[in-house]
Structure 1
Amino acid sequence: MPKKPDERFAIACAPTESADVLDLLGGFARRRPLSGEELLRQAEETEARAKSGDPKAQAALARTLLTDEPNFRKNRRALVLLKQAAQKREPEALYLLGLVHLRGQGVARDDALGMRYLEEAAYLGHLAAQIDLAKAYRLGLPEGAERQTAAERARAAEKALYWTRLAAARGDGLSSYIAGCAYRDGTGTPRNYEEAKKWLLAAAKRAVPEAAAALAKLHLRRDYEARDPQEARRWMIEAALAGDAQAQLRVGIFFWSGLGGGVDQREALRWLCRAAENGSGSAASMLAGFFLTGTVLDLDRLRAWVLYRLAERLGDATARTNAESVNALLSPEERRYGRDVLKLDSPKRILEALIPRKTR
C-alpha cells in the first residue's frame, strides 16, 4: 500500500478563476466567477497548450492533476509534465517538483532532491518556493533535525531565516512573523529586538494575529530598552479582537491591573469572560476569584465553585485545589445545581448561565 503523502508540504489547489464583466447599468467592470462552460473551455485550452509544450500550461495542468482527486495515473502524468516544464526552467514546475518529492506523491520521497528543486525555484523568485524552502530548513531537512550536529542546525537556521526574510520582504505576513520571532529568540541570527519589532510590526499590519500578540509581549520584556506597556496593551487588544483566547486573558489582566493604561474592572470582566468562553482555564479561575472575594461580581461561593471546576476542565493547574477548598462550604443542593450547570455543552453556555451578558 503506498504511503500517504507528507502533509507538511501541501499542494494548494489552483485559485478560482474569474472574469471581468461590464455592468451596463453602473457603467463599470466587476469580477464574477467563471461559468461551468467557461471553466470547461479554459481546461481544454490549458490541455491543448500543455500538449504543444507551453511550460506554464504544463505546470498549471500538473497542479490540477495533483490536487483534483489525485490517483496513481494522474500523479504519473503530472510528473511527466513537470519534468518537461522544468527543463525550460519554469519556476512553478520546479516548485511543484520539489513538493512532489518532499511529499512522496507519485514518487519515492526524496527530501534532498525536493529541496534542490525548491531552491532553484526560489532563486528564480517563486514566493511559495521561498516559503516552503525556509520551512524545510526549519524542520531540519534533508537529514532530519535529530541527526544534525549543532553546527549543521545553526547553518540550517541561518538559511531558513534568509529565505524567510526574502518572502517577508515580498509581503508574506506569516514569513514576517516567523522572521520577527527568529530575531527575538536569536534563531539563525544574533538576538536583535529592533529587527524583531520591525518584522513583527509588518506581520501585525498584515493581520497576522499571532504577530500582534508577539509584538505586545516584546514591549513587555524587561531586557528590551524600548519597552512600552502602552504599546503592549494596544497590540494585545488587536490580538484579542482576532479571537486569541490567551490575548483576551492578558487584556483582561491589563484592565484589571492598569498595566499600560487605566484600570477598568468592567472591561476586565468582559475580556476575561470572552477568554474563558474561548477555552482559557486561567480566565475562568480569575472569574471564580471575583465571585469568591466579591470583587467586581457579587459574592457567590457556588458560582465560584462551578467556575473553578470549569477551569479545571480547561486545564488550569490550580483550579482543582481551589475548587476542593470551596466545596466544603456548599450544601448538597448547591453542589447538585452546580453539577447541572457544568453539564451544559460549552464553556460559553456555562458562562452565560453564571454571568449573564447584561452584567458584563
Structure 2
Amino acid sequence: MLNNMKLKKLALIMPMLFGIGAGLTACATDSVQQQVEQLKAQQQPQVEKSLEQYLALANQGDAEAQYQLGRFYRSGVQFPKDDQKALEWFTKSANQGHAGGQAGLAVSYRDGLSVPKNYTKAIELLTLSANQEHPYGLLHLGYAYLDGLGVTQDYSKALALFQKAAAKGEKYAPVNIGWMYNEGYGVEKNYAKAMEWYQKGAALNEPLAFNNIGALYQQGHGVSQDYNEALKWYIKAAAQNNEYAQANIGYLYLDGHGVAQSDSKAFEWLLKSANQGHARAQNTIGWLYDKGRGVKQDYAKAFEWYSKAAEQGNATALGNLGYLYERGYGVPQSDTKAVEYYRQSAEKGNDVAQANLGNMYRLGQGVEKNEATAKEWFKKACEAGNKRGCEKLNQ
C-alpha cells in the first residue's frame, strides 16, 4: 500500500506519517472525534488585542500591528487566509524597519506568495530581521540555511539560529531542533534529545510538536512503542486541525493500531488531511477509492486524488497514476502515459515504479524494448528491497 521547504512542515513528514490532555483516553466509549471536538472547544485562538484594535492601530501606521495582521492573514486563523493582504501588511510594516514585518515579507518572496519568488530578496530581508534578534526572522533564516535556499546549506548555522529563536519563545523552533535530532541533521541522531525539544514545543501548545511526539511513540523511537499514547498526542494536534495528525489518526484506523480497525474511519480522517493539501493523505485517499476500501470503488476519484498528490511531487502517487494508465482504470488506456508516470516516480526512488518501468522496457510497452535498460531498473528496485524487482532481474 501504500518537500515543502519549510522545516515546520517537513518535521512531520517522517518515513511514516505519523497530542497532552488530562483525562484523554483512547477508549471505545469516547470516540476520537468526540475527544477532538472537546479539545477544540477549549482551544479558542488567543489574541492580545481585538481584531478591531489591531486594524485601528495598523491603519494609524503602527508597525507591530501591521506585522500581526500580516501573520493573521497568512495563517488563516483570525481572518480567512489571504496571501495578498498578508503581503500588503508585511510590506507596510517592513517599510518602517520592523523586524517582524521584514521576516514576513521575506517569506512572501521565498515562497512566491502573491509576489514572484526571489531568494536573494528573501535572504536580504531575513538577515535584517535576524540582526535585530527577531524570533520570526531567526526562525526563517534558519530554514534558509537548512534547505540551502539563497545561501549555502549549513546545518550548524540552521541549528544555531533555531536555538536563538527558541530562546526568544518562537514556538516552531523547538520542533525544528527536535526534528534535526530526530533525523540526525547536523547533529548525531538522538531520539531522547528529539523528545526533549518536542516537549518544549508542546509546552508552547504547538501542534507539530504534539504530532511528532505521537510519531515517536508510534515508531517506538526513544520510548516504548505505544499506539494508545501516540493516539492521545495525535488527538491533541488534530484538535488544532493539524493535517499531519489527522492523517496519522487515519493510518492508525487503517492498520488497527490503538483503535479498532476501520477503513471508513480511516477514510474520514485521511480526507480531512487531504483537503488541507497533505500529499501523502491525498495519495492514500486515491488508493482507498482505487481499492474500494472504506468507500465505494471509483477509479475516476482515484485518478483525481492521485493527481492532486502527484502535483506536489509525491512519488507513490506518480507511480499509481502510471498503473491507472497501464490498466486503463478511470482513464483511457495508454502505455506511453504509464511509462511517463512510472519514470517520474522511479526517478524519485519509488521501488514499485522502478520494477514496473523495468517491465515496460522488457515488454516494449509504451517504449522501445530494451532488456539492458529493463535490468537496470529491476536492479534499482531489487536493491531497494522490492521482491518483484529481484525476481524480474533474475529471469
Write the letter of the residue equivalent to 1:185: Q
Q: Tell me the secondary structure at the aligned position of residue 255 of structure 2.
A: coil
Does the Cα contact within 8 Å between 1:98 and 1:118 map onto a contact in 2?
no
Equivalent residue, structure 1, for 2:327: 290
Does the Cα contact within 8 Å between 2:162 and 2:174 map onto a contact in 1?
no
**CA positional deviation for 1:140:** 3.9
Equivalent residue, structure 1, for 2:290: 256
Instruction: Please say if 1:20 is aligned against 2:52.
Output: yes
Does the Cα contact within 8 Å between 1:183 and 1:193 map onto a contact in 2?
yes
Q: What percentage of residue pairs aligned between the two structures are identical?
A: 17
Equivalent residue, structure 2, for 1:182: 216
Separation in 2 of the partners of 1:321 and 1:113?
A: 45
**CA positional deviation for 1:102:** 8.3
Separation in 2 of the partners of 1:39 and 1:270?
A: 46
Equivalent residue, structure 2, for 1:268: 302
Separation in 1 of the partners of 2:274 and 2:228?
A: 24
User: For each residue in 1:65-102, what CA deviation from the matched residue of structure 2 results, as whole angstroms up to 9, or x when unmatched?
Assistant: 985956999977x47xxxxxxxxxxxxx8x79997998
Which 5+ residue runs of structure 1 have no aligned equivalent?
A: 1-6, 10-14, 22-29, 44-60, 80-92, 332-360
**CA positional deviation for 1:328:** 5.5
**CA positional deviation for 1:318:** 3.1
Does the Cα contact within 8 Å between 2:55 and 2:65 map onto a contact in 1?
no
Equivalent residue, structure 2, for 1:52: none
Equivalent residue, structure 2, for 1:208: 242
Q: 1:32 to 1:173 in 2, by over 3 A?
A: farther
Instruction: Please say if 1:39 is aligned against 2:68.
Output: no
Larger Rg: 1
Equivalent residue, structure 1, for 2:339: 308
Equivalent residue, structure 1, for 2:355: 318
Aligned ranges 1:119-138 → 2 under 5 Å? 126=169, 128=170, 131-138=172-179
Separation in 2 of the partners of 1:70 and 1:296?
A: 48
Q: Tell me the secondary structure at the aligned position of residue 38 of structure 1.
A: coil
Q: Tell me the secondary structure at the aligned position of residue 52 of structure 2.
A: strand
Separation in 2 of the partners of 1:132 and 1:71?
A: 16
Separation in 1 of the partners of 2:139 and 2:310?
A: 40
Q: 1:160 to 1:271 in 2, by over 3 A?
A: same
Does the Cα contact within 8 Å between 1:18 and 1:34 map onto a contact in 2?
no
**CA positional deviation for 1:182:** 2.0
User: For each residue in 1:29-80, what CA deviation from the matched residue of structure 2 results, as whole angstroms up to 9, or x when unmatched?
Assistant: x946723x6237999xxxxxxxxxxxxxxxxx9845985956999977x47x
Q: 1:289 to 1:157 in 2, by over 3 A?
A: same
Equivalent residue, structure 2, for 1:220: 254
Higher relative contact order (CA 8 A, sep 6+): 2
**CA positional deviation for 1:330:** 8.8
Separation in 1 of the partners of 2:137 and 2:301?
A: 53
**CA positional deviation for 1:187:** 3.1
Write the letter of the residue equivalent to 1:219: Y
Separation in 2 of the partners of 1:101 and 1:287?
A: 42
- How many residue pairs get aligned? The number is 256
**CA positional deviation for 1:297:** 4.8
CA RMSD of aligned residues (A): 5.0
**Aligned counterpart for 1:159 among listed residues 149, 173, 196:** 196
Aligned ranges 1:8-157 → 2 under 5 Å? 20=52, 31=55, 34-35=58-59, 38-39=61-62, 63=99, 67=103, 78=132, 115=163, 118=166, 126=169, 128=170, 131-140=172-181, 153-157=190-194
User: For each residue in 1:236-287, what CA deviation from the matched residue of structure 2 results, as whole angstroms up to 9, or x when unmatched?
Assistant: 2222222334323322221232222433344334434444455432222221
Which 5+ residue runs of structure 2 have no aligned equivalent?
A: 1-5, 9-46, 67-96, 106-123, 146-155, 347-352, 369-395
Q: Tell me the secondary structure at the aligned position of residue 227 of structure 1.
A: coil
